[in-house]
Amino acid sequence: MSLKPFFFSRENLLYLLAAAVPFSFVAWSALLNNFVVEVAHFDGEKIGMLQSIREIPGLFAFSIVFVLLIFRQQTAVYLSLFLLGFGTLITGFFPSTWGLYTTTLIMSIGFHYMETLHNSLSLQWIAKDKAPSFLGKLSSLRSFIGLGTLGAVYVLMELYHVSYEMLYILFGGITIFLGCVAWRGFEHFKDDVVQEKKLFLRQKYWLYYLLTFLAGARRQIVVVFASFLLVEQFGFSVQNTVLLLIANTIINMFLAPYAGKLIERFGERLSLRFEYLSIITIFILYGFVQTKEMAVALYILDNLFFTIAIALKTYFQKIADPKDIAVTSGVGFAINHIAAVSLPFTLGILWMHSHSAVFFVGAGIGVLSLGLTFFIKEAK
């Protein structure tokens, strides 16, 4: 059976690109906390600085407009994927403070440009009435690949005692290989709408900008400090961390498509309100966490509700001019990362004095997000 029809589908290209990312990023994330503690001997301040550095390329995601002056979107997305894989591949060889800062920066440039471009292409290529379900399927696929990656990490470390260096080489290499398959296999599709090639901020997108900013601040608290809490305070091993991520991934794999259908049925406004109410409750409970079991339960619950966040993307798709999507996706990623760059380091210092205060800050951000949903007008 010929594979030629497969390589002439825009949807299939989006699926393949989405599948390529978790091999590197999930493996990098799953190993990070234990790698920096066990090998590089990081403390809370250093891990906060590393996470801030990781988010710097996201802060400059708006610069994608300059990349698009040289490369088409499809070419740029392949180059981004190669950087993501390469940055992951070399991570294990530089277990020093500055070595990890450098490899993290390389990996992150690839990851954030890749996410910006993939989001842009998805919103351009997929019809508005099908976008929530399609994005839910993409999330499910990422979870499925992430699950396989986590399972492989667990087996290779637990049964075969494979080193950190070899794991980073393996999973970074897979991402690079899939990037080559996409680059050489798929045709270069013509753009349906010529995208803007200059930077701008439009008043009609103000609510999207602000909700995106708060989402970046809120999510960093979970990504950085909820997982670090498990390692630092409750002594989670890398195997336990991987098992927890596996549980989260299984949940997302099955529920993400339903999150898309929920958004299609109830609309972005109600869906986002439900998400924000959930995370406010979770952050408040995090502030009082005393046991490992409670911390694990909250971590899983947060992941459960986070799948609804795709409603913010589909809200933007509905209100956006088609020619604005590529640039505004980059600007949106940059806005998302303004707080993401500063918060990990700042809250890392606060963390040294009070773990609870960090999570109460997250609850306050959730309250602001909830209040802003009352300005959302359902668009068709």
Measured CA to CA, the distance from residue 135 to residue 138 in angstroms comes to: 5
Beta strands in the chain (DSSP E): none
**Ranges of each domain in the chain:** 12-187+196-375
Helix (H) or strand (E) holding 372: helix 355-372
pLDDT tens digits for range 62-100: 888 888 888 888 999 999 999 999 999 999 998 888 999
- Least confident window among 190-194, 222-226, 326-330, 336-340: 190-194
User: What are the distances in angstroms from CA 252 to CA 244, 260, 264, 300?
Assistant: 13, 12, 18, 10
Measured CA to CA, the distance from residue 73 to residue 325 in angstroms comes to: 12
User: How is 116-168 classified by DSSP, letter by letter?
Assistant: HHHHHHHHHHS-TTTHHHHHHHHHHHHHHHHHHHHHHHHHHHHTT---HHHHH
User: What are the distances in angstroms from CA 314 to CA 149, 240, 250, 310, 371?
Assistant: 28, 35, 24, 7, 19
Torsion of CA 88, 142, 364, 227, to 10 degrees: -50
- Within 13 Å, how many C-alpha atoms sit on residue 225's CB side? 32
- Within 13 Å, how many C-alpha atoms sit on residue 18's CB side? 22
Measured CA to CA, the distance from residue 57 to residue 272 in angstroms comes to: 27
Which tokens go with 182?
């996409």
pLDDT tens digits for range 341-367: 677 778 888 888 888 898 999 999 999
Please tell me the predicted confidence (pLDDT) of residue 103.
95
Torsion of CA 112, 117, 122, 124, to 10 degrees: 140
AA letter at 139: S
pLDDT tens digits for range 155-190: 998 888 899 999 999 999 999 999 999 999 998 887
Measured CA to CA, the distance from residue 77 to residue 83 in angstroms comes to: 10
Please tell me the predicted confidence (pLDDT) of residue 256.
81
AA letter at 106: I
- Residue 366 in 3-state DSSP? helix
Measured CA to CA, the distance from residue 148 to residue 55 in angstroms comes to: 26
What whole-number percentage of the chain has pLDDT above 90? Answer: 34
Say if residue 227's pLDDT is above 90. no
Say if residue 244's pLDDT is above 90. no
User: What are the distances in angstroms from CA 278 to CA 7, 154, 301, 367, 371?
Assistant: 41, 31, 9, 11, 14
Instruction: Name the CATH code of domain 12-187+196-375 (choices 2.160.10.10, 1.20.1530.20, 3.30.70.20, 1.20.1250.20).
Output: 1.20.1250.20
Burial classification of residue 131, based on how many CB atoms lie within 10 Å of its CB (0-12 exposed, 13-18 middle, 19 or more buried): buried
Query: What φ, ψ does residue 129 adopt, rounded to 5°?
Result: -75, -15
Say if residue 125's pLDDT is above 70. yes
- Residue 272 in 3-state DSSP? helix
Measured CA to CA, the distance from residue 118 to residue 125 in angstroms comes to: 10
Which tokens go with 277?
């109410």
Say if residue 48's pLDDT is above 80. no
Length of the chain as a residue count: 380
Measured CA to CA, the distance from residue 282 to residue 84 in angstroms comes to: 32
pLDDT band, very low/low/confident/very high, at 194 (cuts 50, 70, 90): low
pLDDT, the chain, mean: 87
Beta strands in 278-341 (DSSP E): none
Is the overall model pTM greater than 0.85, yes or no? no
Which tokens go with 369?
């997000």
